[in-house]
Structure 1
Amino acid sequence: MAVKSAERVLKVFELLAQHPEGLTIKEISETLAFPQSSTSGLIETLFQANYLTVDFSKKYKLGPKLIPLGSIAMNCLDVAAQGLPFLKRLMEEVQETVFMAVLSDSELIYVAKINSNRSIRTTAEPGKSKPLYCTGLGKAFLTFLPIEHREKVLRDLTLKPITSKTITDKTSLKEQLDMFAKIGYAIDDEENEDGLYCLAAPIYGVECTIQAAISVAGPKERMLKNKERIVENLLHTSMGISDSIGYR
């Protein structure tokens, strides 16, 4: 069931995208056949949140907050679409669940999930977010982000226990990240979900910075038994996707 207020926001964005010179509240109201009183409140809310700007003639235009959202959406589409054949092949090789995620501000957003015939149940799904500090994918970002970006993200993180194995001390987390940097991949050892063991690797783009991360996840005992083979396939796949989006 559609939500009327959300539909109106989307229609405002679509209308203003067609009018880069901007429109007044009256013009928006008349074009979209919205009541002017409710349109005024809607536009003011979007303006206060920086989704819209206004000029001296009281014409509203799309605002700066939409720029990073659009960029992230484009990256998600490009990386996920380009990586999907690689992820399917990886799943077939390791016979475990395979994920891809991107970073949005300080949030990990899943953009792809490929289940195997013996996948175990997990709460991670495309479109959902998870903490950075206790997931393999999140720790891959924390490990391989440029140092200044990494330090900023770490400063803002609050490490809350999710399982009995979640690392909640930043010094211990940083030591672990340093170790991951040396071996080239990150590990989640039941830190986000009991029984789930995850290995994750970075995807680099044309600017040689991490653009996404991929992971293989499964029951701990089974993952450890096949760890060497899984790591080899994981790193081979991450490099293949990186090459395909311009990394050299």
Structure 2
Amino acid sequence: MAPEGNTITATRTSLRIVEALKRLDGAGVTAVADDLGIAKSTVHNHLQTLEDEGYVTNEGDAYRVGLRFLELGEYKRNRMAIYEKARPEVASLAQETGEMANAAVEEHGEGVYITRAEGTQAVTVDTYAGKRVKLHCTALGKTILAELPEERVDEIVDAHGLPARTENTITDRTELKAELAEIRERGYAYDREERLPGLRCVAAPVVPEDGDLVAALSVSGPTTRIEGDRFHEEIPELLRSAANVIEINMAYS
């Protein structure tokens, strides 16, 4: 992150307004101003500029995030080697398990889903390509943290905290680090209803030949189906196999 003295206030305000539109699922000038605690005239000027440039749309009495961001996100994602290599393996995991399969990467200390696929029994959850999540409360995120240097883990926790999403979320730094050590030892991570009640998840890292983590893969589903040997043996093996395929493809293609 750039030093505070090097940041541009107007740019930061525009981005905060865009985030508010997403959080509020579209809103008028007054609602955005109230949400952010800034003047309505300021909000209006920024929204007008963003609309003129094609980044937001004005639908009656509400502004909404525009599809220009989809164009930018797709451009970024399509330039990532891991995306093309992970996409077919994620689809195969969904088909084999019947559940939701995902791939995610770390960016600015958060997990970002880059691709997902739904099996025939997959439950509807709040994930989608581009969604950002805290790393400490997901199997994907803990897998990523387990592969990072301890100094980087501390930086992420300092910046983002360990907020509770459910009663099962790890909110203590010492406990988190102990779990990360276990994940490194066994090679995969569990989410035991730590982000969403009723949902379990297993994740494994994608670590190419050079030893640098590039992504994590996961399979998630309801606790009634993700249990016993399926939770502890079957799905972890499928994930490690898929991760190995991706690692080989990245090394030799």
Scaled by the length of structure 2, what TM-score is found? 0.67
> Match of 1:139?
142
> Match of 1:90?
93
State the alpha-carbon separation in 2 of the partners of residues 137 and 224 from structure 1: 18
> Match of 1:236?
241
* Root mean square deviation, CA, Å: 2.6
SS of the residue 2:214 aligns to: strand
> Match of 1:186?
189
Q: Give CA-to-partner distance per residue, 1:32-82, whole Å, 9 cap, x none.
A: xxxxxxxxxxxxxxxxxxxxxxxxxxxxxxxxxxxxx99x93686321111
Alignment CA distance shift 1:200-1:75 (3 Å): farther
> Match of 2:201?
198
Give, in angstroms, the shift of residue 221 of structure 1.
Answer: 2.7
Tell me which amino acid in the other structure corresponds to 1:101: A
Tell me which amino acid in the other structure corresponds to 1:94: T
State the alpha-carbon separation in 2 of the partners of residues 8 and 103 from structure 1: 32
State the alpha-carbon separation in 1 of the partners of residues 80 and 159 from structure 2: 27
> Match of 1:212?
215
When Rg is computed on C-alpha atoms for both structures, the one with the higher figure is 1
State the alpha-carbon separation in 1 of the partners of residues 196 and 77 from structure 2: 30
SS of the residue 2:226 aligns to: helix
State the identity as a percent.
Answer: 32
State the alpha-carbon separation in 2 of the partners of residues 123 and 85 from structure 1: 22
State the alpha-carbon separation in 1 of the partners of residues 79 and 50 from structure 2: 22
SS of the residue 1:245 aligns to: helix
CA contact (8 A) 1:101 1:137 kept: yes
Scaled by the length of structure 1, what TM-score is found? 0.68
State the alpha-carbon separation in 2 of the partners of residues 223 and 234 from structure 1: 14
> Match of 1:159?
162
Aligned positions of 1:20-169 closer than 5 A: 73=76, 77-169=80-172
CA contact (8 A) 1:76 1:102 kept: no
Alignment CA distance shift 1:118-1:162 (3 Å): same
Query: 5+ residue gaps in structure 2?
Result: 1-46, 56-71
State the alpha-carbon separation in 1 of the partners of residues 110 and 78 from structure 2: 15
SS of the residue 1:86 aligns to: helix
> Match of 1:174?
177
CA contact (8 A) 1:185 1:202 kept: yes
Give, in angstroms, the shift of residue 8 of structure 1.
Answer: 6.6
Give, in angstroms, the shift of residue 6 of structure 1.
Answer: 4.0
Tell me which amino acid in the other structure corresponds to 1:186: A
> Match of 1:34?
none
